[in-house]
Amino acid sequence: MVESTTPVRWLLRLLAIGYVFMLVAWPVGLLVQHTFADGLTTLTATLTDPGVVGALRLTALVTFWAVLINLVFGVTISMLLVRYEFPGKRLLSALIDVPLSVSPVVVGLALLLAYNGRDGWFGPTLEAHGIRLVFDLPAMVMATCFVALPLVIREVVPVLTEIGDDQEQAARSLGASAPQTFWRITLPSIRWAVVYGVVLSLARAVGEFGAVKIVSGNFTGRTQTATLVVEQQYQNFQQDAAYATSFLLILVSVACLVVVALLRPGRH
């Protein structure tokens, strides 16, 4: 730690607080203020609007599946990356970070291209059997999984690396099978990292906009998630409703932040 004089320290502190305030606290605060500008009327009106309720339900559904799939694959891929040697491991590791650097819009377009019903590998076949990927729930879940892919893995990998495989080897030598070792030893050791990764994925999934907008087709009342509804409300000059819906999304984020904050001490 560099020793600095008191005025410098105060200046730095002021700068940091000012920056975060101007960028985050003030805008979000305004949004909350607008939501409650005329008491609870806007909020109740929004919450009783079947369009909004449907969108929230769809968001919950997409989030549930995306987080669940991401959890299973995230933990599996983490185990693979840390515990096994195989050709192409570094490539896989690099690919996992792609969602962090690629714009969600691009992700949406790519998925649309690959899985649409007219060309692509399985789109037409599945379509012929009445199963639709694109412009429906499956593609929305896929897009959300894509953007949230690194979140579980990047949490779990360092913890797995740190704990090493000593305990797993001990379990094996004591007679535990591979699944027993995973459930009884590995998973309990990484549980906080997993929970942390899930919470981050959850927040990311709830807030996803660009990728979902493209692959869902944005059909009102059918494939519109909460974020898409906010945009539509805003464009239709229903600012109040847009603010109120945004407020609900903020509540979810805050809940996630609270969970993370509560977990942090447990992460050492």
Partner 1 sequence: MSIDVQHITKRFGDFVALDDVSVTIPSGGLTALLGPSGGGKSTLLRVIAGLESADAGSVHIEGTDATRLAPQKRNVGFVFQHYAVFKHLTVARNVAFGLEVRKVPRAQVRQKVHELLELVHLSQFADRMPSQLSGGQRQRMALARALAVEPSVLLLDEPFGALDAKVRKELRDWLRRLHDEVHVTTVFVTHDQEEALEVADEIVVVNGGRVEQVGTPDELYDAPANDFVMGFLGEVTSLGGRVLRPHDVELETGPGRDAAREAIVTRVLRIGFETRVLAETVQGEQVTVVMTRTHARTLELVEGMTVWLSAAPGAVSVAAPTGAAGGSDERDPAVPLAV
Q: If binding is defined by CB under 8 A, does position 192 make contact with partner 1?
A: no
CA 61 to chain centre: 13
Interatomic CA distance for residues 109 and 134, integer angstroms: 11
Our CB check for partner 1 shows the closer of 112 and 171 to be 171
- Distance of CA 223 to CAs 58, 107, 136, 140, 186, Å? 8, 18, 6, 9, 39
When binding is defined by CB under 8 A, the residue of 87, 166, 262, 268 that contacts partner 1 is 166
Interatomic CA distance for residues 74 and 83, integer angstroms: 14
When binding is defined by CB under 8 A, the residue of 172, 222, 253, 259 that contacts partner 1 is 172
Q: If binding is defined by CB under 8 A, does position 177 make contact with partner 1?
A: yes
DSSP code string of 181-250 = HIIIIIHHHHHHHHHHHHHHHHHHHHH--HHHHHHHTT-TTTT--HHHHHHHHHHTT-HHHHHHHHHHHH
- Total residues at the site for partner 1 (CB under 8 A)? 16
* Site stretch for partner 1 (CB under 8 A), options 26-34, 62-70, 182-190, 195-203: 182-190
Q: If binding is defined by CB under 8 A, does position 173 make contact with partner 1?
A: yes
Give, as one character, the DSSP assignment of residue 264. G
When binding is defined by CB under 8 A, the residue of 69, 176, 250, 259 that contacts partner 1 is 176
Tokens representing 15? 């700068």
When binding is defined by CB under 8 A, the residue of 34, 47, 114, 167 that contacts partner 1 is 167
Q: If binding is defined by CB under 8 A, does position 76 make contact with partner 1?
A: no
When binding is defined by CB under 8 A, the residue of 171, 199, 249, 256 that contacts partner 1 is 171
Contact positions vs partner 1 (CB under 8 A): 166-167, 169-177, 180, 184-185, 188-189
